[in-house]
């Protein structure tokens, strides 16, 4: 008979993994399936901001903005290695939003709640501040305010890692096929996409956290009476060699009323995004179009003294926002808030009703609050969930984040003393990715040779093995574009050598696990 879990979750993006962590932390048995790699959907294609969303104030989304503002420092405390404060420079452009309007928005932003450590807004004179230096002459005034940066795909992996440490079963490369409800349980059929092998599990409740695929899962696999109100909105980013030398980010107002960010990225680059346009088709096939690339170059070119051209672009990425369809006229106006829909047969005791929870919308910033709200919705059906109470998830750090919130430099200095053979820039990168888990990764190494082969750009065999053993990495893409962004630095041959190594390593691990059974 197939194993019975309290909760089965479809989708290993930020929302699925966030719910898995929260539920496992409250003592539930959890099963999560992800058809590809963790975070391979929208959750690795964001602008990577933990932000209140200044522009959402224009759409009166006060509930969302307040919740998001409060989450900034909560998430920073939970994972100070992969989340850190960022200052945003908003130049004033005559003819667009008036200065009083920006000042009012930023006053609300500073005071809606949740700001303890992050510095507040200030005015800048761009004629003498270094932030004015890369801009065209003529920009005189700007505001500067705070939000945070997040390594989005790593946030997903760390939530999955923590969920697993609390007992959750995480299955990547495992596609959900169908679920049927009978006798108070879901029977869920999944397929291992590597082998084609099908298997079933049973669960007391089911969560559809399939992001842009939420409607496909409902229509093809579950056939429950849920109205799939989803609006798919594409957003693309471009990466160019760095355009400025300071560590602040720009938020540019565009003539079409949209805003575009230019963010310092991976030390040597600038990240520019994003776009907003309705999307149809397979979310997995989304890619930045030439038109979007030209739009982003032009938007940046309105502000930077040096033109930004499509020829400068070294990498692009694109994602599909799974927004709740609130009937807004334009893609940029569609709500960024989340909606949780519960479906359960209305007969018998609630804890025997096999509830289905579907998630529409949501931001990376609010994933923990969304998970908390999801658990509240499911508690009548799974009373065990309520027992631990809410809020535990904010009080517990994510893997590697157990050091003081403003103690990153001290962490790096300590690690450098323990592992003096690791070069400073290499250690800085490792500490940013793994925090205190660097010690597990380096696993008692006392000299550089102990870390094994170097695949390029300081990516060693020790790191790859750690990612395979602890973070479900299986291919070079998982390592180069989601667990890290070293794909920006490795050439094709180096990536192929990494892929070959990982394939061998996977086969070796499979043989070892077969022998153990």
Ligand X SMILES: Cc1cc2nc3c(=O)[nH]c(=O)nc-3n(C[C@H](O)[C@H](O)[C@H](O)COP(=O)(O)OP(=O)(O)OC[C@H]3O[C@@H](n4cnc5c(N)ncnc54)[C@H](O)[C@@H]3O)c2cc1C
Q: Could you list the residues that contact ligand X (CB under 6 A)?
A: 10-16, 33-36, 40-43, 45-49, 175-176, 209-213, 217, 235, 274, 319-322, 362-365
Tokens linked to 443: 């696993």
Residue 40: strand pairing partners:
none
Query: Cβ of residue 429: shortest distance to ligand X, in angstroms?
Result: 22
| 282-308 as b/e: b if 16+ CB within 10 A | ebeebebeeebbebbbebbeebbeeeb
Residue closer to ligand X (CB basis): 144 or 292: 292
Tokens linked to 490: 């490795």
Query: Cβ of residue 191: shortest distance to ligand X, in angstroms?
Result: 9
Query: Cβ of residue 221: shortest distance to ligand X, in angstroms?
Result: 7
Residue that the structure tokens 């005034």 belong to: 141
Query: Cβ of residue 89: shortest distance to ligand X, in angstroms?
Result: 17
Contact status, residue 147 vs residue 48, Cβ threshold 8 Å: no
CA distance 244 to 308: 12
Residue closer to ligand X (CB basis): 239 or 459: 239
CA distance 359 to 375: 12
Q: Concatenate the DSSP letters of all residues of 407-466 into one string.
A: -HHHHHHHHHHH-TTS-HHHHHHHHHHHGGGHHHHHTT--SGGGG--B-STT-BHHHHHH
What's the sign of the alpha-carbon dihedral 302, 304, 305, 310? negative
Query: Cβ of residue 35: shortest distance to ligand X, in angstroms?
Result: 4
**Measured CA angle at 212 (ends 201, 400), to 5 deg:** 70
Query: Cβ of residue 324: shortest distance to ligand X, in angstroms?
Result: 11
Residue closer to ligand X (CB basis): 82 or 427: 82
Query: Cβ of residue 465: shortest distance to ligand X, in angstroms?
Result: 24
Q: Return all residues near 55 (Cβ < 8 A) that are at least 6 apart.
A: 259
Residue closer to ligand X (CB basis): 217 or 340: 217
Torsion of CA 99, 100, 104, 110, to 10 degrees: 50
Beta strands 83-91 and 249-253: pairing type?
parallel
Residue closer to ligand X (CB basis): 143 or 176: 176
Residue closer to ligand X (CB basis): 213 or 303: 213
Query: Cβ of residue 233: shortest distance to ligand X, in angstroms?
Result: 7
Residue closer to ligand X (CB basis): 67 or 144: 67
Tokens linked to 48: 């990577």
Residue closer to ligand X (CB basis): 341 or 431: 341
Residue closer to ligand X (CB basis): 35 or 332: 35
CA distance 162 to 275: 33
List Cα–Cα distances, 344 to 230, 355, 360, 427, in angstroms.
Answer: 20, 5, 17, 50
Residue closer to ligand X (CB basis): 42 or 494: 42
* Residue number, nearest CB to ligand X: 13
- Which of 375, 378, 387 shows the shortest CA–CA distance to 353? 378
Query: Cβ of residue 43: shortest distance to ligand X, in angstroms?
Result: 3
Query: Cβ of residue 358: shortest distance to ligand X, in angstroms?
Result: 11
């Amino acid at each position: 008979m197939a194993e019975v879990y309290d909760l089965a979750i479809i989708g290993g993006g930020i929302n699925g993994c966030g719910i898995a962590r929260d539920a496992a932390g409250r003592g539930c048995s959890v099963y999560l399936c992800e058809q590809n790699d963790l975070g391979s959907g929208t959750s690795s294609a964001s602008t990577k901001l933990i932000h209140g969303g200044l522009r959402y104030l224009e759409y009166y989304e006060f509930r969302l903005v307040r919740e998001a503002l409060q989450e900034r420092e909560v998430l920073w405390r939970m994972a100070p290695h992969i989340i850190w404060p960022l200052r945003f420079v908003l130049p004033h452009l005559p003819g667009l939003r008036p200065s009083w309007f920006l000042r009012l928005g930023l006053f609300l932003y500073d005071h809606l709640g949740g700001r303890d450590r992050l510095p507040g807004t200030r005015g800048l004179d761009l004629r003498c501040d270094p932030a004015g230096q890369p801009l065209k002459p003529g920009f005189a005034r700007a505001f500067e305010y705070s939000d945070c940066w997040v390594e989005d795909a790593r946030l997903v992996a760390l939530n999955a890692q923590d969920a697993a440490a609390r007992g959750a079963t995480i299955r990547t490369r495992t596609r959900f096929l169908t679920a049927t409800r009978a006798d108070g349980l879901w029977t869920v059929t999944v397929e291992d996409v590597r082998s084609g092998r099908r298997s079933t599990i049973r669960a007391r409740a089911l969560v559809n956290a399939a992001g842009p695929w939420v409607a496909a899962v409902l229509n093809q696999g579950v056939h429950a009476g849920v109205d799939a109100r989803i609006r798919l909105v594409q957003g693309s980013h471009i990466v160019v060699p760095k355009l400025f030398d300071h560590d602040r980010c720009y938020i540019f107002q565009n003539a079409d009323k949209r805003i575009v960010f230019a963010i310092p990225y991976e030390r040597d680059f600038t990240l520019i995004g994003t776009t907003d346009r309705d999307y149809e088709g397979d979310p997995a096939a989304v890619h930045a179009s030439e038109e979007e690339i030209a739009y982003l170059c032009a938007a940046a070119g309105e502000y930077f003294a040096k033109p930004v051209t499509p020829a400068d672009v070294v990498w692009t990425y694109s994602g599909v926002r799974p927004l709740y369809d609130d009937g807004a006229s334009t893609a940029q106006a569609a709500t960024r808030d989340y909606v949780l829909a519960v479906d359960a047969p209305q007969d018998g005791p609630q804890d025997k009703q096999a509830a289905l929870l579907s998630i529409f919308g949501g931001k990376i910033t609010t994933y923990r609050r969304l998970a908390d709200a999801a658990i509240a919705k499911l508690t009548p059906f799974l009373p065990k969930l309520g027992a631990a109470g809410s809020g535990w998830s904010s009080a517990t750090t994510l893997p590697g984040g157990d050091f003081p919130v403003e103690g990153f430099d001290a962490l790096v200095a300590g690690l450098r003393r323990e592992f003096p053979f690791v070069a400073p820039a290499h250690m800085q990168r490792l500490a940013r990715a793994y925090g205190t888990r660097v010690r597990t990764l380096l696993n008692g190494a006392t000299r550089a040779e102990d870390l094994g082969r170097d695949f390029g750009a300081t990516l060693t065999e020790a790191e790859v093995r750690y990612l395979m053993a602890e973070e479900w990495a299986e291919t070079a893409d998982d390592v180069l574009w989601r667990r890290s962004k070293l794909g920006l630095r490795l050439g094709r041959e180096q990536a192929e050598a990494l892929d070959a190594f990982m394939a061998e390593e996977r086969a070796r691990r499979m043989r070892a696990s077969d022998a153990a059974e």
